Structure 1
Amino acid sequence: MDIATLLHWLQQAATERPAAQCIIRFRSGSYYRRFLYRLSKAASASGLSDVYRPLPIIRGICCRLPNDVELGTATGPIWIEKDCKISVSPSLKKYASFENGVQWGVKQIKAPQAWSITTGHRIKIGVIDTGIDFGHPDLQHSLLRGINLLNRSKLPHDDNGHGTHIAGTIAAVGGIHGMTGVAPRSLIAPVKAFDRNGSAYVSDIILGIDWCVRNGMNIINMSFGMKTRSKALLSAVNNAYNSGVIIIASSGNDGKLRSVDYPARYPQTISVGATNRQRKVASFSNRGAYIDIYAPGDKIPSAWLRGQYNEMSGTSMATSHVSGAVALLLSLYPGLSPGEIKAIMKRSMQPLKNSKTRRNVGELDISRMLQAAKQR
């Protein structure tokens, strides 16, 4: 397929409705650069600048194409796939009375025992989510500016609550009147890719991953998932992994034995399932061969909008515990690769209680994790 045909499709989609939102990836960097040059010239001449967004981490663009263009196939030097919707992992939510201090999940994974030697100091965590409550008193000392991918002229303010909850478990510093997260001296960069309904496109996630890599994030927290496999998302995850970024993803809340959401199913991520206070797999959590580690995810209190607190359940909450734990580990051993971190975690897990899952899977235990890292 030549560049002229692609440009014709874009012009056609700009004037016709309906049109399908798609991701186009290019096999070679030179062909991609040549296409972007031709596209930028055509856009300035014909008003196409609003109908596409570059996705440099995957050598691609997000755009609209006519509905009759065949998707999901490779055509010469390019691949075209549908830009699918993706959601923050649906979580069970309940407003609850809040007790100050260290929450039960943070205690269960033994984070407080590690704070005398590591608090995650200066480790940067990109939380690709719904944004954050910048006014929350427990988070004000833990925040970087981040980015709002839905409106780049605005701060990534949270209009849903999910992202604030995730950030609280990772890095809250509330003192005697608030809560303390797993890695209280780590830094959260909120990457707002999801709208107030907790919905985003795959292209938004790819842009978020790209921003995290370019801005030196050590960890990316992905508390979201979808059922369909996206080669474009896999390409972005793989490029981040090869750049040394640790990606931690929620497995999903379908309670299924052999089903894990994407991107957690990709081997380049650390896939997280959820446990309860009894160290058992939570009933809602996906489980099975694709899970790398379990962490507390049932009835987790954390930060919420307008400076409040909220209790939520889901593998999203488990994922934030693991992100905090990796921050503690990286602060002590900054040279560890994503593969080494996953191996250390899997080697040091606490066996699950009364579990029918396979024996080589267990719950996060930070004391054992740090010991395993020391002995490696």
Structure 2
Amino acid sequence: MNIPELLRFLSEYFTPSRDEGSRHILSFRNPSDYEAFLNELQLNIPGINPEVRQTLKEAVVRQGLAGSLESADLPPRFRRALRVEEDFRVNVHALAAQEKQINPGIPWGVRRIRAPEVWSQSTGLNVRIGIVDTGVDFGHPDLKYCLARGVNLLSRHHWPHDDNGHGTHIAGTIAAAGGAEGITGVAPRAILYPVKAFDNNGAAYVSDIIRGIDWCVQNGMQIINMSFGMKKKSAAMEEVVERATAAGVVIVASAGNDKKKRNIDYPAKLPQTISVGATNRERRIAGFSNLGPYIDIYAPGDQIRSSWLGGKHRKMNGTSMATSHVSGAIALLLAKRPGLTPAEIKSLLRRTARPLSPLEDRTKGTTGELDAYRLVRRRAKPASKTTKKKV
């Protein structure tokens, strides 16, 4: 592939786009072409304006660029080496929040998974968790001991402050340590790195999520919490998820809130991730949760109280809330046994799950509900092949 020629073409026709429907991801099929392109981009090529070169640098995502070019815009000579897909919108997996005052303490979900019974053995000490979400309330008293700076992908020069609330709620369930005045999360001594890819409406583009996952890998995260989903499959996102998993990062993803019995959202549907459905207080699958054979583990996700903006607390419903319980439990496990691989952890989660309520329809799936105590105590076996169907 003629990289200088491609760069000259892009310098003339490529433009970044922030408008929904006109955003696309241009990916290199061959990683060596991508590396050659990045190297060429650093050079002072005659005829290319420095401002245009900077625009291209800012548009770079893992394995490609995010901008306005469509497949039809590419000259035939480039089409075999490049792939173009829509850079569509993705939403967080949470339902309506309740605003009433909530009593402090250990939330029912944290107790249900038996996290307090693990704290004499592990509190998740120094396990690094990237939360790809709406940011976090850095002033929340429940979170003052667990937060690292992270990154704001929507505005690189600013801290990843939460302007929605979803990310703060997720952070609280994972690692809050509010004492008598606040709440306590699953792994209160883990370190959380907010990765703000979602805006104040709880929406993000695939390209920003890809940047977020890549940032987590480059900065040594052990777990990535991804409490969001989309209906379409993205080849670019699948590639970055594969790379993250190969690097040893555990990716925990929410299944979605559409009540589907045999399907879930991406990226939870990808075989590399740990997909999470939601349960209620009766240990039954929550009425809003997706369910079925693609689910790796269920966890509490109904009426979950956690931290909220302005130092407050709220109850929320969703597979997002269930996913944060699983990320916290994995932090408890990794603090005690840091050498486990993502595949071994997924196998342990499934093998140590507690059965759902006897009233639950067994045709809805074969896995059970998260049990942090059994998870931490069980010895790992060689991981078997994933039970998720190839997608």
TM-score (norm 2): 0.89
**Greater Cα shift, 93-102 or 38-47:** 38-47
For residues 267-306 of structure 1, what are the structure 2 equivalents within 5 Å? 267-306=271-310
Higher strand share: 1
- Report the alpha carbon displacement of residue 373 of structure 1 after superposing the two structures with TM: 2.9
Answer whether contact 1:100 1:176 (CA < 8 A) is retained. yes
Q: Which amino acid aligns with 2:251?
A: I
Distance 1:38 1:227, change over 3 A: same
Map of 2:27 onto structure 1: 25
Choose the corresponding residue for 2:37, options 30, 35, 38: 35
Task: Pick one of 365, 369, 375 that aligns with 2:375.
Answer: 369
CA distance in 1 between counterparts of 2:34 and 2:153 reads 23
Structure 1 residue 98 displacement after superposition? 1.0
Contact 2:70-2:84 at 8 Å conserved across structures: no
Structure 1 residues 112 and 67: CA distance shift in structure 2, 3 A: same
Task: Indicate yes or no: 2:218 matched with 1:214.
Answer: yes
Give SS of 1:317's match. Answer: helix
Output the amino acid matched with 1:370.
V
Tell me how large the CA RMSD over aligned residues is. Answer: 2.4
2:358 counterpart of 1:356: no
Partners of 1:51 and 1:64 within 8 A in 2: no
Amino acid at match of 2:30: S
* Contact 2:279–2:285 (Cα < 8 Å) also in 1: yes
Aligned-partner residue type, residue 277 of structure 2: G
Q: Deviations over 1:7-33 (max 9, x none)?
A: 425522439999932212223333223
Residues 21 and 106 (structure 1 numbering): CA distance in 2 closer, same or farther, change over 3 Å?
A: same
The residue number in structure 1 matching 2:12 is 11
Secondary structure of 2:15's counterpart equals: helix
State the match for 1:49 in structure 2. Answer: 54
Q: CA deviation at 1:357?
A: 3.6
Q: Tell me which amino acid in the other structure corresponds to 2:368.
A: G
Partner AA of 1:277 in structure 2: R
Please tell me the residue identity of whatever aligns with 2:120.
Answer: S
Note if 1:235 corresponds to 2:262: no
The residue number in structure 2 matching 1:144 is 148
Tell me the distance in 2 between the aligned counterparts of 1:294 and 1:355: 13
The answer for the alignment partner of 2:132 in structure 1 is: 128
How big is each residue's C-alpha offset from its partner over 1:204-252, in whole Å with a ceiling of 9 and x where there is no partner? 1111111111111110000000000001000000000000000000000
Distance 1:374 1:16 in 2: 47
Name the CA distance, whole Å, in 1 between partners of 2:29 and 2:15.
25
Q: Measure the CA separation in 1 of the matches of 2:335 and 2:15.
A: 48
- Tell me if structure 2 keeps the 8 A contact 1:109–1:365: yes
Structure 2 Cα separation of the partners of residues 219 and 270 of structure 1: 11
Give me the identity figure in percent.
50
Q: 3-state SS of the aligned residue for 1:138? A: helix
Q: CA deviation at 1:67?
A: 7.8
Distance, in Å, in 2 between the alignment partners of 1:242 and 1:67 is 30
List alignment gaps of at least 5 residues for structure 2. 383-391
Question: 1:61, CA displacement in angstroms?
Answer: 1.9
For residues 264 and 374 of structure 1, do their structure 2 counterparts lie closer, same or farther at Cα, with a shift above 3 Å needed?
Answer: closer
Conserved 8 A contact 1:9-1:65: no
C-alpha deviation, 1:81, in angstroms: 1.3
C-alpha distance in 1 between matches for 2:221 and 2:240: 15
TM-score, length-normalised on structure 1?
0.93
CA distance 1:375–1:246, change in 2 (3 Å): closer
Q: Is the counterpart of residue 81 in structure 1 residue 85 in structure 2?
A: yes
Question: SS where residue 310 of structure 1 aligns?
Answer: strand
- Larger deviation: 84-93 or 178-187? 84-93
Q: Aligned partners of 2:165, 2:15: CA distance in 1, in Å?
A: 35
Contact 2:131 / 2:195 at 8 angstroms: preserved in 1? yes
Aligned residues: 373
Deviation at 1:303, TM superposition (A): 0.3
Structure 1: 5+ residue stretches without partners: none
Task: Say whether 1:250 aligns with 2:254.
Answer: yes
1:173-212 Cα shifts (integer Å, max 9, x gaps) = 0011110000000010000000111111111111111111
Distance 2:270 2:31 in 1: 24
Is the CA contact 2:293–2:366 (under 8 Å) kept in the aligned structure 1? no
Q: Which amino acid aligns with 1:286?
A: N
Partners in 1 of 2:142 and 2:327 — Cα distance?
A: 18
Would you say the 8 A contact 1:142–1:171 is kept in 2?
yes
